[in-house]
Structure 1
């Protein structure tokens, strides 16, 4: 769904406020959950969104010329095919998106963000069985891979850097940081 449950959002906001990134790429913003949550915490951020489902752009007002847009730059495309420079940011957010692709694609996308030079990666995803099919005509909403929290720990460990995590009842949330 283009939304996310509240679990882990306060934890994520605390990390965001502590690191104060100036450039962010939000992969699969849906209704813009993270832009809505984080923008008030730190002004002057350049927000890039990569949204695969074009109808969400108008439906959730992700890019608007009449009012301040949630995203300064918006790309309607599959992030797996996005240019590497879109991941060269202070923070790349994968909020409830990696479960919508095969595991090997998700791992490759995380590696792409790390290789592009991002400083931090925020990941949120279900860590319980959460079957889901197409939603509102969007086939990209189907859950393709069920993540185990320990598996994500191992994937992020392979990227190097440092990792902090929070495991809730439904969601796991990770904050990966490049070692300086």
Structure 2
């Protein structure tokens, strides 16, 4: 097995594990499961959870025994998930070292789709890390940073060196608000490392205040607003 197919950075592994323990998901989707690292992590924490892998690379599925790790393995890509499984929902979606391998439009589409269908989306992705490879999907073909989530209503992020963690609050009911999750993770002062650099995970939450004005036929109107937690 070519390791560049399945390599996953470990910078935020402990943080992801801590998040999972606090959210306690019953259903998890691992997008781009690769070697099955996150599936094994979830299984060790929650043996009874239903874990789904999205992995279009049959070679990875066979080489890493993904059918023995996950409750189901969907051998399809992101676009096929949108088209074939519109009614599926998940407590947590994990996208670890995968979104940079997607075309930008495909990455935006799958995030929007899963925002409606999950409570939390956890994204780990490097910034400005050049990897050119063949086939094309083994290389990095789209760039992601905090600017790409500016229109999301409620999210948090951390970065060490080139490695980034994004936590997006989906529209499904949550077990723990993002505000409280961020506070609890930051209180743990979890040590993270990337190469020769180390630090402490210090998540920053971004919340959007929404205002809606409803204008009636007679010209009068009502205005109200809310802020995501």
Interval containing the TM-score (normalised by the shorter chain): 0.7 to 0.9
Unaligned runs of 5+ in 2: 174-229
Q: Mark the CA change 1:142 to 1:86 in structure 2 (over 3 Å): closer, same or farther.
A: farther
CA RMSD of aligned residues (A): 1.8
C-alpha displacement of 1:146: 2.2
Q: Is 1:89 aligned with 2:90? A: yes
Q: How does 1:2-41 map to 2 (within 5 A)?
A: 2-41=6-45
Gaps of 5+ in 1: 64-68
Cross-structure match for 2:183: none
SS in structure 2 of the partner of residue 13 of structure 1: helix
SS at match of 1:55: helix
Q: Taking CA–CA contacts closer than 8 Å with sequence separation of 6 or more, which of the two structures ends up with the larger relative contact order?
A: 1
Considering fraction of residues, name the structure with more strand.
2
Aligned pairs for 1:64-143 (under 5 A) are 69-82=68-81, 83-85=84-86, 87-115=88-116, 117-134=117-134, 139-143=136-140
Equivalent position SS for 2:53: strand
How many residue pairs get aligned? The number is 166
Moved over 6 A (4+): none
What TM-score results when the alignment is normalised by the length of structure 1?
0.84
**Alignment partners' CA distance in 2, 1:152 and 1:141:** 22
Structure 1 partner of 2:58? 54
Cα 1:13–1:97 shift into 2, 3 Å: same
- Greater radius of gyration (CA): 2
Give the match's secondary structure for 1:38: helix
